[in-house]
Structure 1
Amino acid sequence: MTIFDPKTDAVIIQFMLEEGRKHKKPFSELSKKIKFSTKQICHRWNEQVDPRIERGPLSDKEKEFINQWVKENRKSDGKIRWTRCQNDLKLIFNKLRSTNKIKNAWSSEQKRLARKEYMSPITTSFNNDDNHKVGITEITPVFTSMAVFPPTLQTNFHPGFKQPDKMRPVF
């Protein structure tokens, strides 16, 4: 659910397209006209109502570009200048994407790679009876010390609620 209505969006769009470039801080000027904070207006403009921003999913080439760009342009302290990535993406693909969409694409890729690394295949080999080497590939966590098995529920388990009958596990 959004706190902005279509009328407020129309005011933001009109102001930003007609007068936005005239002001050093257009969002603070706009916040004087409508009831929202500068931060709320800035986020709404940049992520939702800016008509120049392309909607829809990123292409595979755009995702590859973002990942490569971050590898090459990440600061030594780990900071990433997403607006610069946004500008370079616009120059290459001629599509203006929101910085939030760019960050989400990169973050999703990092999470996917972390899951892939965590669940890497480990191949073990041994000799069978015929002295032939046989390889077995298992998917096991790399960090075996972090592997936690889920606790099993026991029949005498009572969670300590006032009405334990409603919370009793069904076996």
Structure 2
Amino acid sequence: MGVPLFDKESDEIISDSMNVLDKSKNIRKKYKIIHEMLPQYTSRQIRQRYLNHLNKRLCMNPLGNEEKAFVIRWITTNQKQNGIIHWKILILDLKAKFGLLRSENTVKNFFYSRMKQLSRSRGNQNVPSAQTAVPFNNNVLTHPFKPVAMEPNFQLIPQINEPYRMVPHF
């Protein structure tokens, strides 16, 4: 499997530092400060490690059926036309509704594994568009997903309404 990127000592430094930095609300670049203590990791790696594994408020239990239904329903109604899903907002809404803070990885892994499972059940190796995806529990959800844009699909076609004509004034 390989050597883990973070060791216990680094995890403790990150956790302890975040506990101290969270108490002082006006510090903006918390992960950069921790990066200065642990230069072998980037600020982004530290942020991901804390938000997905070390945050003591995270619920590490699997998503319940109601939470899964909520995630699917939320994505159905809030996914942008270009396929963008605002995971941070979804996680905050999950916490507001169920009182449990979930990691971004947990929610993304559920959704994308569900999409992959649906594509396999249809005998299709391509990721299905969200429009064709059937919710995991038809009793809970009855409406389809909005389409997911996998690649930009546009053509730049110049449009000229009327050619510009010079009219001389005498």
Same fold (TM over 0.5): yes
Q: C-alpha distance in 2, partners of 1:108/1:3?
A: 24
Give 1 or 2 for the bigger CA radius of gyration.
Answer: 1
Q: Structure 1, residues 138-167: CA drift from partner, whole Å, max 9, x if none?
A: xxxxxxxxxxxxxxxxxxxxxxxxxxxxxx
Identity of aligned residues (%): 29
Alignment of 1:26 with 2:30, yes or no, is yes
Q: Which has the higher contact order (CA 8 A, sep 6+)?
A: 2
Matched residue type, 1:15: S
- 1:153-168 correspondence runs (5 A): none
Alignment of 1:44 with 2:49, yes or no, is yes
> Aligned with 2:19: secondary structure?
helix
Q: C-alpha distance in 2, partners of 1:115/1:7?
A: 42
Deviation at 1:47, TM superposition (A): 1.0
Q: Structure 1, residues 38-63: CA drift from partner, whole Å, max 9, x if none?
A: 11101110111111111021111111
- 1:1-171 correspondence runs (5 A): 1-20=3-22, 21-35=25-39, 36-118=41-123
Higher mean C-alpha deviation, range 35-44 or range 65-74? 35-44
Q: C-alpha distance in 2, partners of 1:114/1:67?
A: 16
Greater helix content: 1
Q: C-alpha distance in 1, partners of 2:16/2:28?
A: 17
- Give 4+ residue runs of structure 1 displaced > 4 Å after superposition: none
Matched residue type, 2:32: S
Q: C-alpha distance in 1, partners of 2:112/2:6?
A: 28
Matched residue type, 1:74: Q
Matched residue type, 1:26: K
Q: C-alpha distance in 2, partners of 1:32/1:22?
A: 18
RMSD of the alignment, in Å?
1.4
Q: C-alpha distance in 2, partners of 1:8/1:116?
A: 42
Q: Structure 1, residues 83-114: CA drift from partner, whole Å, max 9, x if none?
A: 00000000111110001110111111112222
**How many residues were matched structurally?**
119
Matched residue type, 1:38: S
Greater strand content: 1
Q: C-alpha distance in 2, partners of 1:61/1:88?
A: 13
Q: C-alpha distance in 1, partners of 2:118/2:104?
A: 21
- Gap runs ≥5 in structure 1: 120-171
